[in-house]
Structure 1
Amino acid sequence: MTAWFVIVVPLVIMFFTLFMERVEARLRHVAVQENEVEELLENARPDEVRALFRQGIGRALELFQLRRVGRAGRLRTRRSRDRS
């Protein structure tokens, strides 16, 4: 009985760690990056802060990123107009 215990426990631990590594790898792609949160907190507008408290970090970051993308799009349009 002890021999089975000595063989089974390390195998169970090994398979558990492999499973958790896969879960962690998937979560790493879905999770919010630390620098995104810092940038949001430093440059947030009132509507983004309101979304942060009412709907959570996901919605606040979504609004912040939409604003950044919109600003980048406007800059590209201005640069293309200036070159013409």
Structure 2
Amino acid sequence: MTAWIAILIPLLIMVFALGMERLETRLRAGTVREDEVEDFLERARPDEVKALFRQGIGGALTLFRLRNLGKRGGASRRGARTGETSGRSTTGV
């Protein structure tokens, strides 16, 4: 009987540790980084703050990220367009 306990307890501890590692991996993927929260709090718009109270930090950060992606993509497109436009206006004048 003592031999079974000596074998079973370490096996149970190893299974528990593996299970907790899987849980930690899932939780780590769903967490929000500190720099993302700081950036959000510094530059959030009113609609994003409302989303923070209604949906939580996950929903608010999703809106914030979408807005930032739109700015980055739009700014590069606008910059190319204004560069072309300003180049034409200077050569055309």
TM-score normalised by the shorter chain: which range applies? Answer: 0.7 to 0.9
Instruction: Give, in angstroms, the shift of residue 48 of structure 1.
Output: 1.0
Q: Aligned partners of 1:8 and 1:70: how far apart in 2? A: 56
Task: Look up the match of 1:17.
Answer: 17
Q: Deviations over 1:16-48 (max 9, x none)?
A: 111211222233223222221121112111111
Instruction: Give, in angstroms, the shift of residue 3 of structure 1.
Output: 2.0
Q: Percent identity?
A: 58
Q: Aligned partners of 1:19 and 1:68: how far apart in 2? A: 37
Q: Aligned partners of 2:17 and 2:41: how far apart in 1? A: 35
Instruction: Give, in angstroms, the shift of residue 7 of structure 1.
Output: 1.3
**Larger RCO (CA under 8 A, 6+ residues apart):** 1
| TM-score, length of structure 2 as denominator length | 0.77
Q: State whether structure 2 residue 3 is matched by structure 1 residue 3.
A: yes
| Superposed CA RMSD | 1.5
Task: Look up the match of 1:53.
Answer: 53
Helix, strand or coil at the partner of 2:15? helix
Structure 1 residue runs without a partner (length 5+): none
User: How do residues 25-64 of structure 1 correspond to structure 2 at under 5 angstroms?
Assistant: 25-64=25-64
- 1:16 corresponds to which letter in structure 2? F
Q: Aligned partners of 1:52 and 1:69: how far apart in 2? A: 19
Structure 2 residue runs without a partner (length 5+): 85-93
Runs of 4 or more above 4 Å deviation: none
| TM-score, length of structure 1 as denominator length | 0.84
